[in-house]
Amino acid sequence: MVIKQPESAKERIILALDTDTLEDVEKYTKLLRDYVGFFKVGLQLYSACGYEAVKVIKDNGGRVYFDGKFLDIPNTVAKTCVNLMKNGVDFFNVAANGGSKMMSSTVKLCREHAKHMGIEPPTILSIALLSSFGQRTLTEELNISINTVDYVSKIAQISKDCGINGIVAAAGDVKKIKQQQGNDFLVVCPAVRPTWSVVNDQVRVVSPSDAINNSSDYMIIGRPITSAQEPVSAAQMIIDEIETALENKEKEYI
Protein backbone atom coordinates (compact mmCIF):
# COMPACT_ATOMS: atom_id res chain seq x y z
CA MET A 1 0.00 0.00 0.00
CA VAL A 2 1.03 3.60 -0.51
CA ILE A 3 1.79 5.32 2.79
CA LYS A 4 0.95 9.02 2.67
CA GLN A 5 1.08 11.95 5.05
CA PRO A 6 -0.52 10.99 8.39
CA GLU A 7 -3.98 12.40 9.04
CA SER A 8 -3.98 12.13 12.83
CA ALA A 9 -1.58 12.24 15.76
CA LYS A 10 -1.87 8.53 16.51
CA GLU A 11 -1.08 7.59 12.90
CA ARG A 12 2.32 9.23 13.29
CA ILE A 13 3.41 6.68 15.90
CA ILE A 14 5.24 3.55 14.77
CA LEU A 15 5.45 1.25 17.79
CA ALA A 16 8.68 -0.74 17.91
CA LEU A 17 7.94 -4.32 18.95
CA ASP A 18 11.42 -5.24 20.16
CA THR A 19 10.44 -8.58 21.63
CA ASP A 20 11.08 -12.29 21.06
CA THR A 21 7.60 -13.70 21.50
CA LEU A 22 4.38 -13.85 19.52
CA GLU A 23 2.51 -13.54 22.81
CA ASP A 24 3.91 -10.03 23.23
CA VAL A 25 3.14 -9.20 19.62
CA GLU A 26 -0.49 -10.24 20.02
CA LYS A 27 -0.80 -8.50 23.38
CA TYR A 28 0.55 -5.14 22.21
CA THR A 29 -1.31 -5.23 18.89
CA LYS A 30 -4.66 -5.84 20.55
CA LEU A 31 -3.92 -3.33 23.30
CA LEU A 32 -2.54 -0.52 21.17
CA ARG A 33 -3.93 -0.87 17.64
CA ASP A 34 -6.23 2.12 18.29
CA TYR A 35 -3.38 4.24 19.68
CA VAL A 36 -0.63 3.85 17.08
CA GLY A 37 -0.41 3.92 13.30
CA PHE A 38 1.97 1.03 12.67
CA PHE A 39 3.80 -1.76 14.46
CA LYS A 40 7.48 -2.13 13.70
CA VAL A 41 8.88 -5.59 13.05
CA GLY A 42 12.66 -5.40 13.33
CA LEU A 43 15.51 -7.86 13.22
CA GLN A 44 15.11 -9.03 16.81
CA LEU A 45 11.45 -9.95 16.42
CA TYR A 46 11.83 -11.33 12.90
CA SER A 47 14.77 -13.56 13.83
CA ALA A 48 12.72 -14.99 16.68
CA CYS A 49 9.31 -15.35 15.04
CA GLY A 50 9.67 -14.84 11.27
CA TYR A 51 6.68 -13.83 9.16
CA GLU A 52 4.36 -15.20 11.82
CA ALA A 53 4.89 -11.90 13.66
CA VAL A 54 3.62 -10.01 10.61
CA LYS A 55 0.63 -12.32 10.37
CA VAL A 56 -0.29 -11.85 14.04
CA ILE A 57 -0.19 -8.07 13.66
CA LYS A 58 -2.29 -8.11 10.49
CA ASP A 59 -4.78 -10.63 11.89
CA ASN A 60 -5.31 -8.37 14.91
CA GLY A 61 -5.97 -5.22 12.93
CA GLY A 62 -2.51 -3.64 12.86
CA ARG A 63 -0.36 -2.30 10.04
CA VAL A 64 3.28 -3.32 9.64
CA TYR A 65 6.48 -1.35 9.15
CA PHE A 66 9.35 -3.78 8.49
CA ASP A 67 12.69 -2.44 9.70
CA GLY A 68 15.22 -4.74 8.05
CA LYS A 69 17.77 -2.16 6.83
CA PHE A 70 18.57 -4.47 3.93
CA LEU A 71 22.10 -4.22 2.56
CA ASP A 72 23.24 -6.69 -0.09
CA ILE A 73 23.69 -6.99 -3.83
CA PRO A 74 20.80 -5.41 -5.80
CA ASN A 75 19.17 -8.67 -6.90
CA THR A 76 19.08 -10.09 -3.39
CA VAL A 77 17.60 -6.98 -1.78
CA ALA A 78 15.05 -6.49 -4.55
CA LYS A 79 13.75 -10.06 -4.30
CA THR A 80 13.73 -9.90 -0.50
CA CYS A 81 11.54 -6.80 -0.62
CA VAL A 82 9.15 -8.50 -3.04
CA ASN A 83 8.78 -11.26 -0.45
CA LEU A 84 7.82 -8.61 2.12
CA MET A 85 5.07 -7.42 -0.20
CA LYS A 86 3.78 -10.95 -0.68
CA ASN A 87 3.56 -11.36 3.09
CA GLY A 88 1.47 -8.28 3.71
CA VAL A 89 4.08 -5.78 4.92
CA ASP A 90 2.74 -2.23 4.51
CA PHE A 91 6.07 -0.44 4.18
CA PHE A 92 9.75 -1.09 4.78
CA ASN A 93 13.29 0.23 4.42
CA VAL A 94 16.64 -0.52 2.80
CA ALA A 95 20.14 0.69 3.71
CA ALA A 96 21.11 3.57 1.44
CA ASN A 97 24.81 2.68 1.56
CA GLY A 98 23.90 -0.29 -0.63
CA GLY A 99 24.07 2.26 -3.43
CA SER A 100 21.80 3.67 -6.09
CA LYS A 101 21.74 0.49 -8.16
CA MET A 102 20.48 -1.51 -5.19
CA MET A 103 17.78 1.04 -4.39
CA SER A 104 16.59 1.57 -7.96
CA SER A 105 16.54 -2.19 -8.65
CA THR A 106 14.41 -2.72 -5.57
CA VAL A 107 11.96 0.01 -6.54
CA LYS A 108 11.68 -1.32 -10.10
CA LEU A 109 11.10 -4.96 -9.14
CA CYS A 110 8.62 -4.07 -6.40
CA ARG A 111 6.61 -1.91 -8.78
CA GLU A 112 6.56 -4.66 -11.38
CA HIS A 113 5.33 -7.22 -8.87
CA ALA A 114 2.76 -4.82 -7.43
CA LYS A 115 1.30 -4.38 -10.91
CA HIS A 116 1.28 -8.14 -11.45
CA MET A 117 -0.41 -8.65 -8.05
CA GLY A 118 -2.97 -5.93 -8.73
CA ILE A 119 -1.96 -3.85 -5.71
CA GLU A 120 -0.45 -0.41 -5.16
CA PRO A 121 3.36 -0.20 -5.15
CA PRO A 122 4.88 -0.42 -1.67
CA THR A 123 6.27 2.56 0.22
CA ILE A 124 10.03 2.17 0.53
CA LEU A 125 12.31 4.20 2.80
CA SER A 126 16.08 4.46 2.91
CA ILE A 127 18.30 4.42 5.99
CA ALA A 128 21.14 6.94 5.97
CA LEU A 129 22.56 6.68 9.50
CA LEU A 130 21.66 4.55 12.50
CA SER A 131 20.26 6.51 15.44
CA SER A 132 23.18 5.21 17.52
CA PHE A 133 25.61 7.08 15.21
CA GLY A 134 26.83 10.57 16.00
CA GLN A 135 29.28 12.88 14.25
CA ARG A 136 32.28 11.16 15.82
CA THR A 137 31.29 7.78 14.41
CA LEU A 138 30.68 9.30 10.99
CA THR A 139 34.01 11.11 10.92
CA GLU A 140 36.42 8.93 12.88
CA GLU A 141 35.11 5.46 12.08
CA LEU A 142 33.50 5.83 8.64
CA ASN A 143 36.02 8.47 7.52
CA ILE A 144 33.26 10.74 6.17
CA SER A 145 34.29 14.34 6.76
CA ILE A 146 31.00 16.22 6.13
CA ASN A 147 28.56 16.85 8.97
CA THR A 148 25.63 14.52 9.59
CA VAL A 149 22.99 16.92 8.27
CA ASP A 150 24.73 17.37 4.90
CA TYR A 151 25.44 13.66 4.67
CA VAL A 152 21.81 12.69 5.28
CA SER A 153 20.60 15.38 2.86
CA LYS A 154 22.82 13.94 0.13
CA ILE A 155 21.52 10.45 0.80
CA ALA A 156 17.94 11.76 0.65
CA GLN A 157 18.57 13.22 -2.81
CA ILE A 158 20.13 10.01 -4.11
CA SER A 159 17.27 7.98 -2.63
CA LYS A 160 14.59 10.14 -4.23
CA ASP A 161 16.36 9.94 -7.59
CA CYS A 162 16.11 6.15 -7.28
CA GLY A 163 12.35 6.26 -6.69
CA ILE A 164 12.52 5.79 -2.92
CA ASN A 165 9.53 7.37 -1.14
CA GLY A 166 11.23 8.71 1.97
CA ILE A 167 14.00 8.37 4.51
CA VAL A 168 14.58 7.52 8.15
CA ALA A 169 16.36 10.52 9.63
CA ALA A 170 17.00 12.30 12.93
CA ALA A 171 14.74 15.25 13.68
CA GLY A 172 17.56 17.74 13.24
CA ASP A 173 18.01 16.60 9.64
CA VAL A 174 14.38 16.87 8.60
CA LYS A 175 13.94 20.56 7.77
CA LYS A 176 16.74 20.54 5.22
CA ILE A 177 15.42 17.31 3.68
CA LYS A 178 11.91 18.75 3.36
CA GLN A 179 13.24 21.99 1.88
CA GLN A 180 15.20 20.11 -0.76
CA GLN A 181 12.90 17.16 -1.51
CA GLY A 182 9.43 18.56 -0.80
CA ASN A 183 6.77 17.63 1.74
CA ASP A 184 5.69 14.51 -0.16
CA PHE A 185 9.08 12.90 0.55
CA LEU A 186 8.31 11.10 3.81
CA VAL A 187 10.58 11.35 6.83
CA VAL A 188 10.43 8.86 9.69
CA CYS A 189 12.16 9.98 12.86
CA PRO A 190 13.74 7.21 15.00
CA ALA A 191 14.91 7.38 18.61
CA VAL A 192 11.92 9.42 19.82
CA ARG A 193 11.64 9.59 23.58
CA PRO A 194 9.17 11.62 25.64
CA THR A 195 10.89 13.77 28.26
CA TRP A 196 9.56 11.49 30.99
CA SER A 197 11.22 8.34 29.60
CA VAL A 198 14.71 6.83 29.72
CA VAL A 199 17.06 7.48 26.77
CA ASN A 200 18.53 3.91 26.65
CA ASP A 201 21.13 3.23 23.91
CA GLN A 202 20.27 5.94 21.40
CA VAL A 203 22.49 8.97 20.70
CA ARG A 204 20.47 11.45 18.64
CA VAL A 205 17.32 11.39 20.78
CA VAL A 206 14.41 13.84 20.53
CA SER A 207 10.95 14.25 22.04
CA PRO A 208 7.70 13.84 20.07
CA SER A 209 7.33 17.63 20.13
CA ASP A 210 10.81 18.05 18.67
CA ALA A 211 9.96 15.61 15.89
CA ILE A 212 6.79 17.54 15.00
CA ASN A 213 8.47 20.95 15.22
CA ASN A 214 11.11 19.73 12.78
CA SER A 215 8.42 18.53 10.31
CA SER A 216 8.84 14.76 10.75
CA ASP A 217 5.93 12.74 9.35
CA TYR A 218 6.25 9.61 11.47
CA MET A 219 8.17 8.72 14.61
CA ILE A 220 9.41 5.39 15.98
CA ILE A 221 8.74 4.88 19.68
CA GLY A 222 9.22 1.61 21.54
CA ARG A 223 10.20 1.18 25.16
CA PRO A 224 8.52 4.35 26.51
CA ILE A 225 5.24 2.63 25.63
CA THR A 226 5.96 -1.11 25.84
CA SER A 227 7.89 -0.84 29.12
CA ALA A 228 5.36 1.43 30.80
CA GLN A 229 3.21 0.07 33.58
CA GLU A 230 0.19 1.35 31.65
CA PRO A 231 1.06 1.18 27.92
CA VAL A 232 -2.25 2.68 26.81
CA SER A 233 -1.80 5.65 29.14
CA ALA A 234 1.76 6.14 27.91
CA ALA A 235 0.60 6.06 24.30
CA GLN A 236 -2.19 8.53 25.04
CA MET A 237 0.27 10.92 26.71
CA ILE A 238 2.39 10.83 23.56
CA ILE A 239 -0.66 11.40 21.34
CA ASP A 240 -1.57 14.40 23.49
CA GLU A 241 1.96 15.78 23.17
CA ILE A 242 1.88 15.35 19.39
CA GLU A 243 -1.53 17.04 19.12
CA THR A 244 -0.34 19.98 21.20
CA ALA A 245 2.78 20.35 19.08
CA LEU A 246 0.70 20.23 15.87
CA GLU A 247 -1.71 22.85 17.21
CA ASN A 248 1.14 25.16 18.23
CA LYS A 249 2.82 24.70 14.88
CA GLU A 250 -0.39 25.53 13.05
CA LYS A 251 -0.77 28.74 15.09
CA GLU A 252 2.63 29.86 13.83
CA TYR A 253 1.23 30.01 10.31
CA ILE A 254 -1.92 31.94 11.24
**Which residues have a catalytic role annotated?**
69
How many angstroms separate the CA atoms of 35 and 32, rounded?
A: 5
Alpha helix positions (H), 129-221: 135-136, 148-161, 171-181, 208-213
DSSP state letter for 190 = -
For 90-147, the DSSP string reads -EEEEEGGG-HHHHHHHHHHHHHHHHHHTSPPPEEEEE-S-TT--HHIIIIIS---S-
CA distance 224 to 222: 6
Q: What are phi and psi of 66, to 5 degrees?
A: -95, 120
Residue type, 112: E
- In 10 A of CB 71, how many CB atoms? 15
**Is there a contact between 18 and 223 (Cβ–Cβ < 8 Å)?**
yes
Q: Is residue 46 classed as helix, strand or coil in its secondary structure?
A: helix
Query: Distance between CA atoms of 15 and 237, rounded to whole angstroms?
Result: 14
